Amino acid sequence: METTKLSSKGQIVLPSRIRSAHEWEAGMEFIVEDTPEGVLLRPADAFERTRLEDVVGSAGYDGPAKTVEQMDAGVAAGAKAHRDRG
């Protein structure tokens, strides 16, 4: 177990072994949660959380609705075209 000190500015330095193990780098943002056991640090999400309703229709398709079969065929055709290029 390692120890650290609280600075006069309220800063705590996390031991490098812990930073390396979690791949935490300078500038990362954390959520700080007060728990009965102590303080919990969790990395903040890199992106804002979204709901399905917020992104449905954001792909920009403006044509008639497609069936699942038509979408599957389109994906398969795209994959084949990608494989054939290589």
- Tens digits of per-residue pLDDT, 42-82? 999 877 778 887 777 767 777 888 899 999 999 999 999 99
As a CATH number, domain 1-47 is: 2.10.260.10
Element (H, E) at 43: strand 38-43
What pLDDT digit, counting tens, does each position of 3-14 carry?
999 999 999 999
Taking residue 51's Cβ as centre, other Cβ atoms within 10 Å add up to 7
Question: Which pLDDT belongs to residue 48?
Answer: 77
Cα-trace Rg, the chain: 24
Locate the domains of the chain by residue range: 1-47
Question: Which pLDDT belongs to residue 67?
Answer: 92
Q: Using CA atoms, how far apart are residues 41 and 32, in angstroms rounded to an integer?
A: 5
pTM, two decimal places: 0.49
Question: Which pLDDT belongs to residue 58?
Answer: 66
Neighbouring residues of 31: CB distance < 8 A, sequence distance ≥ 6: 41, 42, 43, 44
Q: Using CA atoms, how far apart are residues 35 and 41, in angstroms rounded to an integer?
A: 10
Written as six digits, the tokens of 46 are 């890199």
